[in-house]
Amino acid sequence: MTLHDQIQGSIIDAMRQHDAARRDALRMVAAALYNAEKAARRPLTDDEQLAVLTREVKQRRESVEAYTKAGRLDLAAGEQAEADLIRTFMPQPLDEGQLDALVESAIAETGASSARDLGRVMAVLAPRTRGRADGRVVSGLVAQALARRDLAGHAHGSDGT
């Protein structure tokens, strides 16, 4: 079953359950996918569909932050509910151990040894974590791992060993 079919089925279920908020949120996601497909002038690949869902979740996360700062917790809760709903159509998030293993693997694969290599590592890692981990978190983990390697390299070099 394709992602489009899953979303359409969920829209129908929401309509049967008279859940207008869920129905409307799903329709917005379906529209975003449809618009992206029309812009590409071809069917979207699975990765492209995942990128659209990721963008939709990110937009809602930013809205939650803005509404929370403005004291509109009711609107923030609605946006959070939509983000949670969209996440149900995305692959399972990576846990901390899986993420650490992917970071170490990408660092080894690229031969990265310092913070200057962050971009190279992220270029390898981003497609592997897309939709399964927050890019800011992944970037932070890579930066920490590279900083540890950089410090370890300088420590060995300074004492002559």
Mean pLDDT of 145-159: 67
Domain that holds residue 29: 3-87
Share of the chain above pLDDT 70, in %: 94
| 8/76 same-domain check | yes
| 151/108 same-domain check | yes
**CATH number of the domain bearing residue 54:** 1.10.1510.10
In the structure, what pLDDT confidence band is assigned to residue 161 with cuts at 50, 70 and 90?
Answer: very low
Write down the pLDDT at residue 156.
Answer: 53
Write down the pLDDT at residue 154.
Answer: 58
**CATH number of the domain bearing residue 137:** 1.10.10.410
pLDDT tens digits, one per residue of 15-32: 999 999 999 999 999 999
Q: What is the pTM of this model?
A: 0.65
φ, ψ for residue 92 (rounded to 5)?
Answer: -60, 140
Q: CA-to-CA distance for 143 and 116, rounded, in angstroms?
A: 9
| 51/68 same-domain check | yes
| 35/111 same-domain check | no
20-29, 45-54, 149-158: which is most confident: 20-29
More confident residue, 114 or 60: 60
| 79/136 same-domain check | no
Is the pLDDT score of 159 beyond 60? Answer: no
| 73/24 same-domain check | yes
Q: How far is CA 132 from CA 11, 60, 150, in A?
A: 24, 16, 28
| 7/80 same-domain check | yes
Domain end among 87, 119, 146: 87
- Structural domain tally of the chain? 2
| 120/77 same-domain check | no
The tokens 């932070």 sit on which residue? 140
| 76/113 same-domain check | no
Write down the pLDDT at residue 160.
Answer: 45
Q: Hey, is 113 helix, strand or coil? A: coil
In the structure, what pLDDT confidence band is assigned to residue 61 with cuts at 50, 70 and 90?
Answer: very high
pLDDT tens digits, one per residue of 80-135: 999 999 989 988 888 888 888 999 899 888 888 778 888 888 988 888 887 788 78
Element (H, E) at 93: none
